[in-house]
């Protein structure tokens, strides 16, 4: 079984990108519009993402590296595993340029030569320990956790999650789905992560699922199914150049996949950890150095204190476990 990786990246220091960004955003600091610096800045760790892939997941068939026509100067794009993908290669031109990560994700199934089985990474998701194909796919299906999470928040992100759940409830009957795949929804290894599954058992509608903010396995065919059912809504939302309350999140595709039963139950929290660097920078450094997990997310924020020191400590931790250049770096 061929498995591809897909990763998105942007160089906010690129002059051409800055011109377009300023033209369409108006206000760089407008965090309510999803255009804050933390959403786009690159802290120089991308080479460790590639080193982690080569050392800990050498089985990957192809890496589809998505940018808006950019590439790091150190990246060796002649490496046969790299497919350099421009937004215009797979996103309809009428929606470009886009600075909305969810629009970039809506069309992943359109990437040329993308395998049916692929794992999607943001550029702040890293592999820091040996990981096998079975961590992402078993029996040809993505490994995932089907666990509800009550989200009372009224933030923009949770509004978009609710948009996605409306489409799910329009297409799936919760009682039928959880009865058909009972053993997947009430899988013993989920532990306390699945407590809302039991609490909401009598409730007839889907609510949002737990979202392990990390590398996510998908079937390409899932995207095609969702587009067939909700193409009108996704097309309309594609016009949002920046994040908007009318967006649909990638959770739409993941939740659809789960509701179709196209997953193998796995408690992804057991080897995955998200570190908000504003709150837990020391714990992030320790986890990388000690390789405490297989996958980590280093979540940026404009309010990180002692930013330069935090980034230097993380860089040193990566150097500790990944000191050697990968074949993805120019000699």
Beta strands in the chain, from DSSP E residues, in sequence order: 3-8, 62-67, 82-86, 117-121, 125-127, 137-138, 141-144, 216-219, 264-265, 272-276, 295-299
Q: How confident is the model at residue 39 (pLDDT cuts 50, 70, 90)?
A: very low
DSSP lists the bridge partners of residue 5 as 63, 119
Domains along the chain with CATH numbers:
3-321 (3.90.550)
Residue 278 has pLDDT above 80, yes or no: no
- Please name which of 296, 293, 269, 294 lies closest in space to residue 189, comparing C-alpha atoms: 269
Min mean pLDDT across 6-15, 138-147, 195-204 is at 6-15
271, 280 in Cβ contact below 8 A? no
Residue 36 has pLDDT above 70, yes or no: no
pLDDT, tens digit (0-9, with 9 covering 90-100), for 302-324? 777 888 898 899 999 999 999 99
CA 27 to chain centre: 26
238, 103 in Cβ contact below 8 A? yes
Q: How confident is the model at residue 236 (pLDDT cuts 50, 70, 90)?
A: very high
**What predicted TM-score, i.e. pTM, was given to this entire model?**
0.94
Q: What is the mean pLDDT of residues 241-268?
A: 96
Give dist(CA 164, CA 185) in Å, integer: 19
What is the DSSP code string of 241-272?
A: SS--TT---THHHHHHHHHTT-SEE--GGGSE
């Amino acid at each position: 079984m061929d498995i591809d990786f897909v990763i998105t990246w942007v160089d906010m220091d690129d002059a051409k990108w800055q011109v377009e960004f300023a033209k369409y955003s108006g206000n760089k600091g407008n965090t309510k519009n999803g255009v804050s610096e933390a959403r786009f800045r690159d802290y120089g760790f991308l080479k460790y993402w590639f080193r982690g892939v080569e050392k800990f997941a050498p089985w990957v068939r192809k890496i589809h590296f998505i940018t808006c026509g950019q590439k790091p100067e150190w990246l060796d794009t002649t490496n046969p595993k790299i497919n350099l993908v421009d937004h215009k290669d797979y996103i309809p031109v009428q929606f470009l340029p886009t600075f909305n990560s969810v629009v970039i994700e809506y069309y992943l199934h359109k990437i040329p030569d993308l395998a049916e089985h692929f794992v999607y990474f943001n550029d702040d998701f890293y592999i820091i320990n040996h990981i096998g194909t079975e961590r992402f796919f078993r029996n040809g299906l993505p490994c995932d956790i089907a666990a509800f999470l009550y989200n009372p928040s009224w933030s923009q992100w949770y509004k978009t999650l609710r948009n996605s759940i409306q489409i799910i409830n329009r297409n799936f009957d919760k009682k039928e789905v959880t009865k058909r795949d009972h053993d997947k929804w009430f899988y013993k290894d989920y532990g306390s992560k699945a407590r809302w599954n039991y609490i909401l058992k009598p409730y007839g509608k889907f609510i949002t699922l737990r979202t392990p903010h990390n590398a996510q396995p998908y079937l390409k065919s899932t995207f095609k199914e969702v587009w067939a059912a909700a193409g009108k809504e996704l097309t309309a939302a594609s016009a949002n150049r920046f994040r908007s309350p009318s967006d649909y999140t990638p959770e739409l595709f993941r939740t659809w996949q789960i509701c179709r039963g196209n997953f193998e139950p796995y408690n992804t929290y057991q080897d995955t950890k998200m570190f908000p660097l504003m709150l837990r920078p020391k714990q992030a450094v320790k986890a990388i150095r000690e390789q405490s997990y297989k996958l980590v997310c280093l979540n940026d924020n404009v309010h990180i204190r002692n930013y330069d020191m935090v980034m230097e400590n993380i860089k040193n931790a990566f150097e500790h476990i990944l000191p050697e250049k990968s074949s993805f770096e120019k000699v």
